[in-house]
């Protein structure tokens, strides 16, 4: 089964946040790989460098992997690396390689009439799920209102964004001030008091806080019994994260969005910097590299937990391996996949049931390419 055609588009996908009147738009890369047998595999994710990723896939990657065996994703990745990267597993290259790998596993699942999670090991047919909802744009009253809405729908685990700071280009990323950190602690306190002790709460700094800010925020939030503090320090520094972990009772999670190299995850484990490892298949290199990350974590007795968006891709990895964990339904990625694919599973009463259809288990909606942009 040979790769016949590889195409990437940029899609402008509309969605809405709870309580936010204006429609938002996510700019996503959508990849399709077609084989000489007529099977098609797909993948989709948002990235900052979406136009560069599209051009790299269409102009550089597609000619390199044309004609290769679609059922050998490890060989495809190796050839793509030596032909187009040669030294670095980072940036637009790795985002593109991740999307290609996911689409190839979608092909493999369809060729073998099995969902990807079973091909990865089939350890779990259901997984715990949590909702990332706590936007910095919400006032405290709005934060509590949305949390109560989700709890009324049966959700039991919630994550909020902290250390956002000011950034006109992104909803959740920025450079926080010390005043922002104090405000974040107040928001965490208010949310815990509103939802009570029976609801899990996580917070995510998205690699944006300095060590001093992260330590202060952790100390202020320790009384509120958080499940974890995710990507707490600037650039995900393993050394500083290990230091922070010795200074707080809140478990540390890391390795999600923009962590593109297995050696970075290795440093988290060797330095004992994390309680939860969070490889995201849209960044780490698809399922091929995700399996390696899961094996590394298992060797250190560290559980996986998803972070970094796009649950419908990542749930297959977590269901495949024995140390798989909570699946993050980040509002943006969750709703983008729901609006562009048919039969995408969602969280029900704090869990998600894995699809039984072949490959990813969900397929692009008719007219998905009407969303493409030049």
Average pLDDT over residues 31-38: 98
> pLDDT at residue 137 above 70?
yes
Q: Where in the chain is the domain with CATH 3.20.20.120?
A: 117-363
Residue 167's pLDDT is: 66
Residue 145's pLDDT is: 98
- Exposed, middle or buried, 23 (CB in 10 Å: 0-12/13-18/19+)? exposed
> pLDDT at residue 172 above 90?
no
pLDDT band at 151; cut points 50, 70, 90: very high
pLDDT band at 168; cut points 50, 70, 90: low
**How many angstroms separate the Cα of 316 from the Cα of each of 27, 42, 194, 311, 327?**
23, 14, 33, 9, 10
pLDDT tens, residue by residue, 157-167: 999 999 987 76
Tell me which of 80-94, 178-192, 224-238, 360-374 is least confident.
80-94
pLDDT band at 173; cut points 50, 70, 90: confident
β-strands 126-134, 228-230 pairing = unpaired
Backbone Cα Rg of the chain: 20
Average pLDDT over residues 116-139: 96
How is residue 368 annotated by DSSP?
G
Listed residue (348, 295, 288, 336) closest to 312, CA to CA? 336
pLDDT band at 356; cut points 50, 70, 90: very high
Enter the tokens of residue 114: 């099995």
Listed residue (329, 373, 363) closest to 127, CA to CA? 329
Question: What whole-number percentage of the chain has pLDDT above 90?
Answer: 94
Residue 19's pLDDT is: 95
Residue 130's pLDDT is: 98
pLDDT tens, residue by residue, 36-47: 999 999 999 999
Residue 330's pLDDT is: 95
At 113 the three-state DSSP class reads coil
- Average pLDDT of the chain is 96
Tell me which of 250-259, 278-287, 304-313 is least confident.
250-259
CB within 8 A of 264, min separation 6: which ones?
A: 236, 238, 255
pLDDT tens, residue by residue, 314-341: 999 999 999 999 999 999 999 999 999 9
Average pLDDT over residues 122-137: 96
d(CA 324, CA 123): 8
Average pLDDT over residues 281-291: 97
Residue 169's pLDDT is: 60
Q: What is the CATH number of domain 117-363?
A: 3.20.20.120
Residue 86's pLDDT is: 82
H or E element in which residue 73 lies: helix 73-84
Q: Where in the chain is the domain with CATH 3.30.390.10?
A: 3-113+366-373
Q: Which CATH class is domain 3-113+366-373?
A: alpha beta
At 42 the three-state DSSP class reads strand
Listed residue (66, 57, 43) closest to 288, CA to CA? 43
């Amino acid at each position: 089964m040979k790769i016949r055609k590889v195409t990437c588009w940029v899609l402008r996908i509309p969605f809405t946040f709870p309580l936010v009147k204006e429609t938002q738009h996510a700019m996503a890369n959508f990849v399709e790989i077609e084989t000489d047998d007529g099977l098609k595999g797909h993948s989709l994710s948002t990235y900052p460098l979406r136009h560069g990723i599209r051009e790299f896939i269409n102009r550089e990657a597609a000619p390199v992997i044309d004609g290769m065996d679609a059922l050998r994703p490890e060989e495809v990745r190796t050839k793509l690396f030596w032909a187009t990267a040669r030294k670095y597993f980072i940036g637009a290259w790795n985002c593109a390689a991740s999307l290609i790998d996911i689409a190839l596993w979608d092909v493999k699942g369809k060729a073998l009439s099995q969902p990807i999670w079973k091909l990865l090991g089939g350890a779990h047919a259901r997984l715990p799920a949590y909702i990332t909802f706590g936007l910095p744009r919400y006032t405290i009253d709005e934060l509590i209102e949305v949390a109560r809405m989700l709890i009324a729908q049966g959700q039991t685990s919630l994550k909020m964004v902290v250390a956002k700071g000011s950034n006109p280009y992104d909803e959740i990323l920025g450079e926080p001030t010390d005043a922002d950190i104090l405000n974040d602690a107040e928001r965490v306190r208010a949310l815990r008091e509103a939802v009570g002790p029976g609801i899990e709460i996580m917070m995510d700094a998205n690699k944006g806080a300095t060590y001093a800010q992260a330590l202060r925020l952790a100390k202020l939030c320790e009384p509120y019994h958080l499940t974890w503090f995710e990507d707490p320090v600037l650039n995900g520094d393993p050394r500083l994260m290990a230091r922070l972990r010795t200074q707080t009772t809140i478990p540390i999670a890391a390795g999600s969005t923009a962590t593109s190299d297995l050696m970075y995850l290795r440093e988290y484990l060797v330095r004992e910097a994390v309680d939860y490892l969070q490889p995201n298949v849209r960044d780490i290199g698809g399922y091929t590299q995700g399996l390696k990350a899961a094996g590394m974590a298992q060797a250190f007795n560290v559980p996986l937990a998803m972070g970094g968006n796009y649950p419908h891709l990542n749930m297959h990895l977590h269901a495949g391996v024995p140390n798989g964990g909570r699946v993050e339904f980040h509002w943006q990625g969750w709703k983008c996949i729901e609006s562009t694919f048919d039969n995408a599973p969602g969280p029900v009463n704090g869990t998600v049931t894995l699809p039984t259809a072949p490959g990813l288990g969900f397929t692009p909606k008719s007219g998905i390419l009407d969303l493409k942009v030049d």
